[in-house]
Structure 1
């Protein structure tokens, strides 16, 4: 985990824990977990975020890195989910 900031949102960090334990197997699972908050934090609108959850290959590397920072996990945990989903 990236421990850069002690003021992380506990709700979002709990989503990071779901990645770490393998409970998140598809990006669309995030649609039910604070989607407005995450979209706003990523700097994209809600509709675009939902499209990206349906088509995870549309996430940019920058968005993946920002999402990982929000969730307090390493970006490779997200890319592994995306890769598995696309194969």
Structure 2
């Protein structure tokens, strides 16, 4: 983890850990994990965030990068989950 972790929200860091350990297999899983806080941090409204979780191909690259920064993970971890959902 980056050295600025002490300033990051522990609840969001725990979600990042879930990506790292492979516990997040679908983006919609995030709908149960502080959705209002994440949507606000991403700068999108709650409804739009929930739609994107249902249709992860609608996330923009910028949103993926911001989400990764929020969760203190590499964007590739998020794109990997999105790709696996799109292949089904």
Determine if the TM-score, normalized by the shorter chain, exceeds 0.5: yes
Alignment of 1:1-87 (within 5 A): 1=1, 3=2, 5-6=4-5, 7-87=7-87
Runs (5+) with no aligned partner, structure 1: none
CA RMSD of aligned residues (A): 0.9
- Measured in 2, the distance between the counterparts of 1:43 and 1:29 equals 20
Structure (1 or 2) with the greater helix fraction: 2
Runs (5+) with no aligned partner, structure 2: none
Residue correspondences, number: 86
- Measured in 1, the distance between the counterparts of 2:67 and 2:3 equals 14
In the TM superposition, residue 4 of structure 1 has moved relative to its aligned partner by 5.7
Would you identify which runs of 4 or more consecutive aligned residues in structure 1 move more than 3 Å? none
Question: TM-score scaled by structure 2?
Answer: 0.95
